[in-house]
Amino acid sequence: MGAYVAGGGEFNRDTNYITTRITADGADGYPVEPDRYRLIVARACPWANRTIIVRRLLGLEDALSIGFCGPTHDQRSWTFDLDPGGVDPVLKIPRLQDAYFARFPDYPKGITVPAIVDVPTGQVVTNDFAQITLDFSTEWTAYHREGAPQLYPEALRDEIDEVAQRIYTEVNNGVYRCGFAGSQDSYEKAYDRLFTALDWLSERLADQRYLVGDSITEADVRLFTTLARFDPVYHGHFKCNRSKLAEMPVLWAYARDLFQTPGFGDTTDFVQIKQHYYIVHSDINPTGVVPKGPDLSNWLSPHGREALGGRPFGDGTPPGPTRESERVPAGHGAA
């Protein structure tokens, strides 16, 4: 993700992404086709984690391959340091920037994940993380698995969009606004905004199991990836320390409910999450020391949210087991 701090010490996210879309009708020149594209992610990144979750819930593994960057990157680019020889086995490149430069030789902005690459040309198609998951739900329907859930049902889209927008500005981005604040005043304002939103979410979720409707939607995916990183990273590293997630009873139960749902906890890599933030953000953590804690075993404790009713996958079914080649490494989860 690309970001910068502007005058007054306030954090501003660079939101000028590559907005080309992969659609059923191919209006932008990139039609949905199986085996043509490769989704490039890093498990550490909350924005990329969303695409991993949605791809798995919808069962797009056969249609869209996935490549994993390592948890850290240098000033310029995410790299494929987890792969043999440090090269992506499909794209045959060592750095994600190679795919960006293949399409935009003078690409001036940050090299971000998630990104979708057109395998035949080796060119990046899009890094517009918010649109990517919506398109998985609406444009890739021909390749959804049988029993795929409706994560963006038409009847609820306006409400999902409204809730997701507030989650993005106040929570997903809000933690960064705290962590990268350049002055005491801007930090304190960011802190107040963040916890105002978390309190609003606690109220909303006190008597309903999911954010919109009675099953999991895109809005839940967008909130989950921030909550999963809250205690391991944001509470300490970003100074979001009014309370831990584990001290906010409704949100903590909600987060565990999702974590224990196939597609969520089994795509969450706490080791890479901590390595990314504490090593890459050398301006915030110059020693590069990565904390040992917190203890994660409580993610698997009973959450009691079933009492609120709801059907996690609506009329659909849970996804099957994670493919062996895509599993979070042993010891990196909450088991």
The residue-averaged pLDDT of 51-55 equals 98
Choosing from 100, 176, 191, 234, the catalytic residue is 176
Q: What is this structure's pTM? A: 0.95
- Among this protein's residues, is 176 annotated catalytic? yes
The mean of the pLDDT values for the chain is 95
Choosing from 37, 45, 100, 191, the catalytic residue is 45
| pLDDT(27) > 80 | yes
% of the chain exceeding 90 in pLDDT:
92
What residue segments make up the domains of the chain, in order of their start?
A: 3-143, 155-326
**Cα 53 to Cα 49: distance, rounded to the nearest angstrom:** 6
CATH topology assigned to domain 155-326: Glutathione S-transferase Yfyf (Class Pi); Chain A, domain 2 (1.20.1050)
What residues pair up with 123 in beta bridges, in sequence order? 118
pLDDT value, residue 13: 62
Supply 199's token pair: 């309190």
Residues in the chain: 335
pLDDT value, residue 15: 62
Give residues with Cβ within 8 angstroms of 191, minimum separation 6: 178, 239, 240, 242
φ/ψ (deg, to 5) at 220: -65, -40
DSSP letters spanning 237-262: HT---SS-GGGSHHHHHHHHHHHTST
CB 49 within 8 A of CB 268: yes
Is 252 part of any known ligand binding site? no
Residue type, 233: V
User: Which strand ranges, in their side-by-side order, compose the sheet holding 37-42?
Assistant: 65-69, 37-42, 115-118, 123-126
**Cα 244 to Cα 238: distance, rounded to the nearest angstrom:** 12
Q: From 3.30.2320.50, 3.20.20.410, 1.25.40.10, 3.40.30.10, which CATH number describes the 3-143 domain?
A: 3.40.30.10
- Among this protein's residues, is 100 annotated catalytic? no
pLDDT tens digit string along 153-195?
Answer: 999 999 999 999 999 999 999 999 999 999 999 999 999 999 9
pLDDT value, residue 334: 85
Label residue 8 by pLDDT band (50, 70, 90): low
pLDDT value, residue 76: 79
pLDDT tens digit string along 100-135?
Answer: 999 999 998 989 999 999 999 999 999 999 999 999
| pLDDT(136) > 90 | yes
